[in-house]
Structure 1
Amino acid sequence: MNFIELFLIAAGVSMDAFAVAVCKGLSLKEMSWKNAFIIGLYFGGFQSGMPFLGYLLGSQFMDAINAFDHWIAFILLGSIGLNMIKEAFSPGLDDCGDSSLHPKQMLMLAVATSIDALAVGVTFSFLKVQILPAIILIGITSFVLSALGARLGNRFEAQFKSKAEFFGGLILIFMGTKILLEQTLGG
């Protein structure tokens, strides 16, 4: 998997965190760069840690499913993408929660937004992706997008949130389809 493909996946899985960061920015009365940095650290940290855990988990089963790993990658990335698109059109997206950065709340949000990244990590193990550069790229991308999302959310409307999830979902579906076609067509 090349850098551009990894970056697209990083951007795709970061969209949930971006969307929640926009929402968090909407709920906070004042958004300093320090608060944006804190939000970015939570989301970037979990978005990079969960693919690593998924990679370790997937590595345990790699030999048993090597013949159809591309189908698993397609199904996982496609399912995540479709779920993100569905969430983009869900009516409950305007509820941004309370206006605090309490560690317990931020931890729950970071875990919730990074579950998809766990599945991506499983996919990485099947595709034999070098995990260290991948999780660094995902972490940095998620950190930057989340910090910027919090700042933007504090200034603009909630409409960014659903658009981010929609485009993130499309990216993941595209990447899953690309992996499937490359493996089945020998490209």
Structure 2
Amino acid sequence: MSPITILLLSLSLSADAFAAAIGRGAVHRPTLSAAVRAGLVFGIIEAVTPVIGWALGLAAAGFVQSIDHWIAFGLLGLVGGNMIREAIRHDTPEDDTPAAPRGRGRLALIATAVGTSLDAAAVGVSLAFLGVNIGVIAVSIGLTTFVLATLGMLIGRFAGARLGPAAELIGGILLIGMGTRILLEHLGLIAW
């Protein structure tokens, strides 16, 4: 996987954490140190979940090797489509639900981070079929999520929750694009 693809994947998977962090920042008005701590929670959890998915994917790789590109395409498409659906749903005027739970405690923060990282586990399953270096990718995803979640908390503090859906929409489009590229590459229709 090229460095650009890893960066795009990291940004895509960080988009929902960024959106949730903006919502939490708008609700909680964190200090810089609180935003950094929240960013660390998001980043660590987001780095671990693709490794878990990757391990599960490796366990099943021998059984599905002939259709792995279809599985990657399907999983990335579902995750990306869900992100787009959530972005559009949160963008409608009648929906005034906050982008993140209102709980202030660590448990609410961890629950939010886990909720936003489930897509990374699904993507991790896809990565198992591609023979990638999961360590490099997990670190990239974790660092990107840490930076974006920290920034999201601070942006939310000042700008409110309006930017979250746009980040989620862009992330969803990027994931669908990556899944399509993987499928077309494996079918021999494009060379990357």
Please tell me the TM-score bracket, short chain as reference: over 0.9
- Looking at structure 2, the residues matched to 93 and 132 of structure 1 have their Cα atoms a distance apart, in angstroms, of 39
- Which blocks of at least 5 consecutive residues in structure 2 are unaligned? none
- Partner amino acid for 2:20? V
Paired position in structure 2 for 1:21 = 21
Q: CA offsets, 1:5-60, max 9 Å, x none?
A: 0111111011110000000000013x211111111111101111000000110000
**Alignment equivalent of 2:163, drawn from 160, 164, 172:** 160
Paired position in structure 1 for 2:74 = 75
| Conserved? CA contact 1:94–1:158, under 8 Å | no
Give 1:83 shift.
0.3
| Conserved? CA contact 2:52–2:121, under 8 Å | yes
- Looking at structure 2, the residues matched to 165 and 57 of structure 1 have their Cα atoms a distance apart, in angstroms, of 26
Give the TM-score of the pair, scaled to structure 1: 0.95
- Partner amino acid for 1:98? R
Paired position in structure 2 for 1:147 = 150
Provide the aligned C-alpha RMSD in A.
Answer: 1.3
Matches within 5 A, 1:14-53: 14-29=14-29, 31-53=30-52
Question: Percent of counterpart pairs with the same letter?
Answer: 38
- Which blocks of at least 5 consecutive residues in structure 1 are unaligned? none
- Looking at structure 2, the residues matched to 114 and 67 of structure 1 have their Cα atoms a distance apart, in angstroms, of 28
Q: CA offsets, 1:143-187, max 9 Å, x none?
A: 000000110011103220100110000000010011111110262
Q: CA offsets, 1:105-163, max 9 Å, x none?
A: 11111111110000011011001111100000000000000000110011103220100
Give the TM-score of the pair, scaled to structure 2: 0.92
SS in 2 for 1:89: helix
| Conserved? CA contact 1:47–1:117, under 8 Å | yes
- Looking at structure 2, the residues matched to 150 and 35 of structure 1 have their Cα atoms a distance apart, in angstroms, of 9
| Conserved? CA contact 1:93–1:162, under 8 Å | no
Quick one: structure 1 residues 85 and 144, their matched pair in 2 at CA, closer, same or farther if it must change by over 3 Å? same
| Conserved? CA contact 1:11–1:141, under 8 Å | yes
- Looking at structure 2, the residues matched to 93 and 120 of structure 1 have their Cα atoms a distance apart, in angstroms, of 30
